[in-house]
A and B are shown apart, each in its own frame.
Chain A
Amino acid sequence: MATNQSRAIGKWALAPSLIVLSAWAFVPLALTIYFAFLRYNLQDPDNTSWFGLSNFYYFLSDPYFTKDFINTILLVGSTIILTIAGGVGLAILLDQPFWGRGIVRLLMISPFFIMPTVSSLVWKNLIMHPVFGLFAGIQRFFGSTEPIDWFGHYPLISVIIIVTWQWLPYATLILLTAMQSLDGEQKDAAAMDGAPPLSYFRYIILPHLSRPITVVILIETIFLLNIFAEIKVTSVGGFAGNLTYLVFSQLNDANDVGAAAAGGIIAVILANIVSYFLVRIVGKNLES
């Protein structure tokens, strides 16, 4: 099958992709490392010079850094927990036969395909808006006079709600697909054994889902670490920003290339640590 000859040709077939991906992975990285040690502000470009580790120090000691770092962890962590818990529940629900199951499935997966920019604006202005929003309307219906200003008072929770709403369908879809691959015979055997629903869940469904859950965690982490649109478009960067937003604001608001680059490097290091562990775990699962 794979002869020396075909492998030699294979190297040439793979080369363009490898070259292009290496360039994409390493050239911007190299440049960012370069800029991180440089004092370079776009508003003052003539005053560029070697800056040692000052950019890093400046970025890490920025009062927003600790806050945004914690926000990042909270955002990623809560979304993963909520989407997986919800996903398992919805997957079990959708696995049951009922009328109109196909349509309900379409309804449930829709949020995933909505552009982040659109979801953010819809949630902020049409639903969570303290005066005109739906939630406010519901609160007023129940007699409240002070509807919650979601984005004003609870920006991080608001962002978490939006992101969870978007990613819940993904987790549900993956877990549902995995559940449907659960061998019908196992189900029959369990029924014959008279397994009560809770044990059935714990001993048969959960182990079967453990591998897809790992993959879901990996994929969601990849995407959630880099959440951007939801924060920028709803203008809560100052309160509920994450690291990605912080880097962006260094560049956009402060025009400080050096600091933004240092922040970028820090983000890369953190992401590498996370990915090292995740890829090891998932790599084993993907071995098939």
Chain B
Amino acid sequence: MSLKQSTGQKITITIVAWVIGLLLFFPILWTAIAAFKTESDAYTLPQNFLTTPWTLENFGIVQERSDYVLYIRNTVIIAGLSTLLGLVFAVPAAWSMAFAPQSKPTNNWSGYTWLAIIFGSGGLAALILYFMGWHPTNFLVGIILLLMFVVPVSAWVWTRATKDTLLWMLSTKMMPPAGALISIYLLFNRNGLIYKDWGWIDLSDYNLVDSFWGMVPLVMLLNLPIIIWMLYTYFKELPVEILEAARMDGASLWNELTQVLTPMAMPGIASTCLLNLILAWNEAFWSLNLTNKFAAPLSFFISEYSSPEGQFWAKLSAASIMAIVPILIVGWFSQKQLVRGLTFGAVK
């Protein structure tokens, strides 16, 4: 607005801004205060700050009762490993889209041809399945029928021009987890679709539910579109000539990526990791549904406090603070990364 403000205006704005800021922050502040009180004091209103006996007992009780250390360890493992795994996939992918883009689809079939192929193939698979009584007679048949649907659709994706591929990746993030929940659950679960006694091999001792082998790839896949998009926008800002010089110097793709691109793009890669860490840390849908104890992260840990058992406000507050503080601090330092990552680079 106008560049010169009267001191009066500045004071008003300062007051208004601080009031709003404190109001928005208040629930967090309130929780933090309650965490340090004894249970009986936590919910008395009005609060008497001067005479309240401050205590750290809640934190100890929470650790004892639900082993906070275990959960934070799990969260760090899931968030950290899924980020690293994501980079392994995303760096080459973003490189290819930023520096070797496909400007036209690699094949010329019209949209209708593709639609016909996909519906034809998928429909045929469904028809075959129907005649089998909607139960594939054995595992191999099931896989073949599955592929009859998945392969044509994937082929369509494979042949798109780069900018369409990027938008398609964006759209996979829009997939309602509701739609995938049952399938993932049955794919992961013991005695579900995969991990059962097949006769010739007994897999029923294994399962991916409540395990890192399941959660880490899953969380990585959830955020992979964002990681690729973010790296793509950072890579596009790098000077192409340096990579061309590397090519003239005889660098293979592996060398180009590891010795030239990654070191140059380090700030961008770090920012992407930061954002991904935050998203993975706060992920709730899959954590609540697929974990129970062994791989359960902090989202799950907190949900254990959702059913009231007697007086638990102070403990809830302590548990909450323990769950949110690490990522809150990380978040304070990640504002720029957040803006770039969660607007797919549209706002910088």
Q: Mask for A94-134, Cβ within 8 A of B = 1, else 0? A: 10111111011111111111111111111101110000101
Comparing B61-69, B107-115, B317-325, the segment that makes contact with chain A is B317-325
Q: Which residues of B contact A (CB under 8 A)?
A: 1-3, 5, 10, 13-14, 16-18, 20-22, 24-25, 27-28, 30-31, 34, 43, 45-46, 89-90, 92-93, 95-97, 99-102, 129-130, 133-135, 146, 149-150, 153-154, 157-158, 163, 165, 167, 169-187, 193, 221, 224-225, 228, 240, 244, 247, 253, 278, 281-282, 284-285, 288-289, 298-300, 302-303, 305-306, 308, 313, 316-317, 320, 323-324, 327-328, 330-332, 335-336, 338-339, 342-348
Known: A13-B253, A17-B90, A31-B186. A268 touches B343 (CB 8 A): no
In the assembled complex, 10 residue pairs joining A and B whose CB atoms fall closer than 8 Å, in A order, are A13-B92, A13-B95, A18-B154, A18-B158, A122-B316, A141-B46, A169-B24, A170-B342, A212-B346, A244-B178
Q: Complex Cα distance A247/B180, Å?
A: 10
Assess whether A271 is in contact with B176, with CB atoms less than 8 Å apart: yes
Q: Complex Cα distance A173/B186, Å?
A: 40
**Other-chain contact of A286, B45, B180, B344 (Cβ < 8 Å):** B344
Assess whether A173 is in contact with B338, with CB atoms less than 8 Å apart: yes
- Kindly report which residue of chain B lies nearest to residue A252, judged by CB atoms: B289
Assess whether A117 is in contact with B303, with CB atoms less than 8 Å apart: yes
Q: Mask for A28-55, Cβ within 8 A of B = 1, else 0? A: 1111101101100000000011100000
- Kindly report which residue of chain A lies nearest to residue B244, judged by CB atoms: A1
**Other-chain contact of A219, B101, B165, B342 (Cβ < 8 Å):** B342
Assess whether A244 is in contact with B177, with CB atoms less than 8 Å apart: yes
**A78 interface residue, CB < 8 Å from B?**
no
Known: A174-B343, A191-B3. A10 touches B27 (CB 8 A): no
Assess whether A111 is in contact with B28, with CB atoms less than 8 Å apart: yes
- From 180 to 223 in chain A, residues with beta carbon under 8 angstroms from any chain B beta carbon are 181, 187-188, 191, 197, 200, 211-212, 215-216, 219, 222
A76 to chain B, nearest CB (A): 12
Number of residue pairs A-B, CB distance < 8 angstroms: 356
Assess whether B17 is in contact with A226, with CB atoms less than 8 Å apart: no
Assess whether A188 is in contact with B175, with CB atoms less than 8 Å apart: no
Q: Complex Cα distance A272/B170, Å?
A: 12
Assess whether B178 is in contact with A17, with CB atoms less than 8 Å apart: no
Assess whether B320 is in contact with A122, with CB atoms less than 8 Å apart: yes
Q: Which residues of A contact B (CB under 8 A)?
A: 1-3, 6-7, 9-11, 13-14, 16-32, 34-35, 37-38, 48-50, 90, 92-94, 96-101, 103-123, 125-127, 132, 134, 136-137, 140-141, 165, 168-170, 173-174, 177-178, 181, 187-188, 191, 197, 200, 211-212, 215-216, 219, 222, 225-226, 228-229, 232-235, 243-244, 247-248, 251, 257, 260-261, 263-265, 267-268, 271-272, 274-275, 279, 282-283, 285-288
Assess whether B27 is in contact with A98, with CB atoms less than 8 Å apart: no
| Chain A residues whose CB sits within 8 angstroms of the CB of B96 once the complex forms | 9-11, 13-14
Q: Complex Cα distance A87/B305, Å?
A: 32
A226 to chain B, nearest CB (A): 6
Q: Among A92, A99, A187, A200, which residue has the most Cβ atoms of chain B within 10 A? A: A99
Known: A17-B89, A117-B299, A165-B24. A260 touches B158 (CB 8 A): no
Assess whether B288 is in contact with A228, with CB atoms less than 8 Å apart: yes
Known: A108-B24, A233-B303. A20 touches B182 (CB 8 A): no
B223 to chain A, nearest CB (A): 11
B331 to chain A, nearest CB (A): 4
**Other-chain contact of A222, B97, B174, B184 (Cβ < 8 Å):** B174
**Other-chain contact of B177, A109, A121, A226, A286 (Cβ < 8 Å):** A226
With A122-B27, A174-B339 known, 10 other A-B pairs at CB within 8 A are: A17-B89, A25-B172, A109-B332, A112-B338, A117-B323, A125-B313, A178-B347, A225-B174, A229-B299, A247-B181
Known: A16-B92, A94-B17. A127 touches B27 (CB 8 A): yes
| Chain A residues whose CB sits within 8 angstroms of the CB of B172 once the complex forms | 21, 24-25
- Kindly report which residue of chain A lies nearest to residue B282, judged by CB atoms: A115
Q: Complex Cα distance A174/B101, Å?
A: 29
Q: Complex Cα distance A50/B348, Å?
A: 52
Q: Complex Cα distance A174/B95, Å?
A: 26
